[in-house]
Amino acid sequence: MMFLLIIFWLFFFTFSFGTAGLIFVLMRNAVKRPWKLKIDPNYKPKISVIVPTYNEANVIRFKLENLAKVNYPKNLMQIVVVDSNSEDQTANIVYDFIKQHPKCDIRLIKQNKRIGKSAALNFALRYCEGEIVIVSDVDCFWPSDILEKALPFLADPTVGAISGPKILLNSNQSWVTKSEDAYLNSMNLIKLGESKIGSTLLFEGGFSAYQRRALVSFDPYNTGSDDCGTIIKLIEKGYRALFIPEARFYSAFVSTWKEKTCIKIRRANQLVRLFAKTFKLLLKGHFKSSRKIVLLKIMLFILSPLMLVPLIITTILLLLQLPLFALLLLILLVPKIRVYLIEFLQSQFILLLSMATVALNKSFVIWNKPPDRIFICEEVLHKYKLI
């Protein structure tokens, strides 16, 4: 009986922690590979930057100042602010900024009602004139050289989209922001490894740039995951979606565990829906060029969390019958591993909760604004030379 219990524990551990560990090791090795791309540092296409807003009076001016500061020819940069029926002074602040900066090509378009970010982006897409369409959330800020460093990767005809890493403005605010920073660092390594192999599936809303010829609409699978849903469709068409370390941007993050959990559950709900649909497409023979990456992502976001519950049960049974087994678990609690272990466990529990919300047919098309705007102020943005 004890032998059988250990076998079951090893099985569940392999498909829970083992899956994440295997992916991390594979991607860490892949990061060392060179880019096999035609990177053109002189590539300067016409770009359209979409900024979706809803009641963003406190930060919209900072966002526009940040975009105006970016090193790129003004005649090649269009900014489209799409407002989802804000009830504050967001629109008026944008109009004032347009008057004060006539050299900037800024256009404000308005929706009659708020029906979700994907709908706002698709509404704005009609007004985009650029060869490259870039999405940037209003609470995310670019270094002035981001386009000079990032756009050359889109010169390669096989690349359909690029994104970059999020750098937290308040990474030392609390243990929550510190753990989020550690999580982002590990995920960035994985995304870079995936990109070197073929494509990554996870994009950030602070900087996501798309070839207009490859982009039909945002989130075509109607999962609410505008970034990742769009990327899946591009990869289906044979384009590559890349994580570019040079395309970094800055944003803030919530400082309490409750706020973080709420954000993560909403995000995970969308990812579970997306990867469930992606699995069906995989079975039908889609994703010929990125099949391995897609399969690994499905294992990480669907299979791995499902294995966590039986892993916990068998761990408890082993601890009751074999106290020395606790020594093995203590190895996982050394300081160097503890932060990543806690973050991983929390992510797996959140994915499980999200699967339950999907099973109950609960979706989050419209997100509540996270309370991270209080960390975005003029002093901090000046410190990082973002305005």
The model's pLDDT over 20-70, given as tens digits with 9 standing for 90+, comes to: 888 888 999 999 999 989 999 999 999 999 999 999 999 999 999 999 999
What digits encode the pLDDT tens for the residues 153-186? 999 999 999 999 999 999 988 988 988 898 899 8
Lowest-pLDDT choice from 51-55, 255-259, 339-343, 355-359: 339-343
Q: Is the pLDDT of residue 326 over 80?
A: no
- Which H or E element spans position 98? helix 90-100
Q: How far is CA 95 from the centre of its chain?
A: 30
> What's the token pair of residue 23?
């992916």
| Mean pLDDT on 208-219 | 92
pLDDT of residue 372: 65
Dihedral (Cα; 116, 118, 124, 126), 10-degree rounding: -130
| Mean pLDDT on 284-301 | 80
Query: What span, in angstroms and rounded, lies between the C-alpha atoms of 96 and 73?
Result: 22
| Mean pLDDT on 243-257 | 93
Q: Is the pLDDT of residue 94 over 80?
A: yes
Helices 60-68 and 90-100 pack at an angle, to 10 degrees, of 30
pLDDT of residue 78: 98
Query: In this structure, what DSSP letter does residue 127 have?
Result: T
- 1 class by beta-carbon count within 10 Å (0-12 exposed, 13-18 middle, 19+ buried): exposed
Per-domain residue ranges for the chain? 1-387
Per-residue pLDDT band for 330 (boundaries 50, 70, 90) equals low
Task: Check residues 369 and 342 and name the one with the higher pLDDT.
Answer: 342
| Mean pLDDT on 210-218 | 92
CA atoms within a 13 Å half-sphere pointing along the CA-CB vector of 23: 27
Task: Yes or no: say if 314 and 8 are a contact pair by the CB < 8 Å rule.
Answer: yes
Query: What span, in angstroms and rounded, lies between the C-alpha atoms of 387 and 68?
Result: 9
pLDDT of residue 276: 82
Query: In this structure, what DSSP letter does residue 172 have?
Result: T
| Phi, psi (degrees; rounded to nearest 5) at 250 | -115, 140
Burial 84-96 (b: 16+ CB within 10 A, else e): bebeeebbebbee
- 32 class by beta-carbon count within 10 Å (0-12 exposed, 13-18 middle, 19+ buried): exposed
- Per cent of the chain over pLDDT 70 is 91
Task: Yes or no: say if 234 and 215 are a contact pair by the CB < 8 Å rule.
Answer: yes
Task: Yes or no: say if 381 and 387 are a contact pair by the CB < 8 Å rule.
Answer: yes
Query: What span, in angstroms and rounded, lies between the C-alpha atoms of 368 and 113?
Result: 15
pLDDT of residue 22: 85
CATH class of 1-387: alpha beta
Q: Which amino acid is at 263?
A: I
Instruction: Report helix, strand and coil shares of the chain as percent, to nearest 5.
Output: 55, 10, 35
Strands 132-135 and 208-211 come out as: antiparallel
- Beta-carbon count within 10 A of 111 CB: 17
Q: Is the pLDDT of residue 369 over 70?
A: no
